[in-house]
Amino acid sequence: MLTIARAVALFTLAAAYACLGAEAAADSVYWAGAALSATNAGERTLACAQLDRMGAEALLAVPLLIARLGDDPAGDWRTTEAPAVMALDAIGDPAVESLLGALRSTNAVARAAAARALGRIKHPQALRHIAVLLADPEVNVYRSAAWALARLEHEAAIEPLTAALAHADEQVREYVAWGLSEIGGSRVLDALAQAMKDESPAVRRAASKGLGGISNTTAQETLAAALNDSDADVRRAAEEAVAYLKRKAQRRAAAGNGRHEERQ
């Protein structure tokens, strides 16, 4: 049970760490590590929050946080991420090797959480390992993998993301279109044009955003066609993308005129 005394102890240790710096880190990690083994979910959440604030100084707690990745989530991770995932994200690169191992867990919740933590850390080494999980039989795992790949925003993710546009799951394809849009540029043009033909309006909306960042005739023609899309939200997204492209063209023209006047 999470008693007032134990809660106060957690916050006291966190405050001591903040005031005393690294000298208090070992004690703080030790106490929080013990709390991670508590049967009470609230106490474990407080411990994760303390380790989250410590960041890389909480490295010694990584194995204990990895063990908590399999906890049943309290809600939808898209709105409220698991506390252990957030703490591992704060620790960053030093947690990557352990998280890569967690991707092979027999616990589907742990595999999904590990993928999302790696996506948050954005370490390129994780890319090919996360991509494997797109073929995982568990829906939450392959959705988490698609989200993580999209969040990496790395050029090397273009190939697996493009391949995942054929995934049967609509949410996966939406994350993929979003990820390709975040990478942006002419390298993802063909994939985004393909996504604009998807049966899901959510996928087409996500792809419209990416096309709005590409000053290219094909992108402009694809967006022009989307202005007549059957879905109102897709039409609105296309309108915003077209307007953005026009503003960008106007700024380039104005800058060009300014340089021309300076030379005269």
* Domain range list for the chain: 27-152, 167-264
Q: In the chain, count of helices (H) and strands (E)?
A: 15, 0
> Residue 32: what residue type?
A
Q: For the chain, give percent helix, strand, coil, nearest 5.
A: 80, 0, 20
- What's the pLDDT at 256? 66
Write the pLDDT tens digit of every residue in 30-84: 777 778 888 888 888 888 888 898 888 888 889 989 999 988 766 677 777 889 9
Q: Are 194 and 223 in contact (CB under 8 A)?
A: no
Mean pLDDT comparison of 69-73, 221-225, 246-250, highest-scoring range:
221-225
Q: Is 170 in contact with 143 (CB distance < 8 Å)?
A: no
pLDDT at 260: 54
User: pLDDT digit string (tens) for 196-220?
Assistant: 999 999 999 999 999 998 988 899 9
Q: Using the predicted structure, report yes or no on whether residue 90 has a pLDDT greater than 90.
A: yes
Predicted confidence at residue 164, as pLDDT, reads 93
- Please tell me the pTM assigned to this model: 0.77
Q: How confident is the model at residue 11 (pLDDT cuts 50, 70, 90)?
A: very low
- What band does 20 get if pLDDT is binned at 50, 70 and 90? very low
Lowest mean pLDDT among 19-33, 231-245, 248-262: 19-33
User: Using CA atoms, how far apart are residues 210 and 202, in angstroms rounded to an integer?
Assistant: 13
CA diameter of the chain:
79
Residue 143 CA to residue 155 CA, distance in Å, equals 20
CATH architecture of 27-152: Alpha Horseshoe (1.25)
* Domain 167-264: CATH class, spelled out: mainly alpha
pLDDT value at residue 253: 75
Under the banding of pLDDT at 50, 70 and 90, the label for residue 1 is very low
pLDDT score, position 258: 60
* 8 A C-beta contact, residue 136 and residue 106: no
Q: What is the pLDDT of residue 23?
A: 52
CA distances in angstroms from 210 to 31, 87, 180, 190, 205, listed in the order given: 46, 31, 7, 11, 9
CA–CA gap between residue 104 and residue 150 (Å, rounded):
20
Residue 97 has pLDDT above 90, yes or no: yes
Q: Report the SS3 class of residue 81.
A: coil
* Out of 1-5, 203-207, 247-251, least confident range: 1-5
User: Residue 35's pLDDT is what?
Assistant: 80
Cα 191 to Cα 185: distance, rounded to the nearest angstrom: 11
Sequential DSSP letters for 30-66 = HHHHHHHT-S-HHHHHHHHHHHHHHGGGGGGGHHHHH
For the cut 50, the answer to whether the pLDDT of residue 5 exceeds it is no
What was the pLDDT predicted at 41?
A: 82
Question: 232-263 and 201-211 helices cross at what angle (nearest 10)?
Answer: 0
Cβ–Cβ < 8 Å for 173, 145: no
Asked if the domains 27-152 and 167-264 are classified in one and the same CATH topology, the answer is yes
**What is the radius of gyration, based on Cα positions, of the chain?**
23
**pLDDT tens sequence across 142-187:** 999 999 998 988 888 999 999 999 999 999 999 999 999 988 888 9
Mean pLDDT of 91-108: 96
Average pLDDT over the chain, rounded to whole?
Answer: 85
Of residues 163, 168, 161, the one with CA closest to residue 139: 168
Which is more confident, 64 or 20?
64
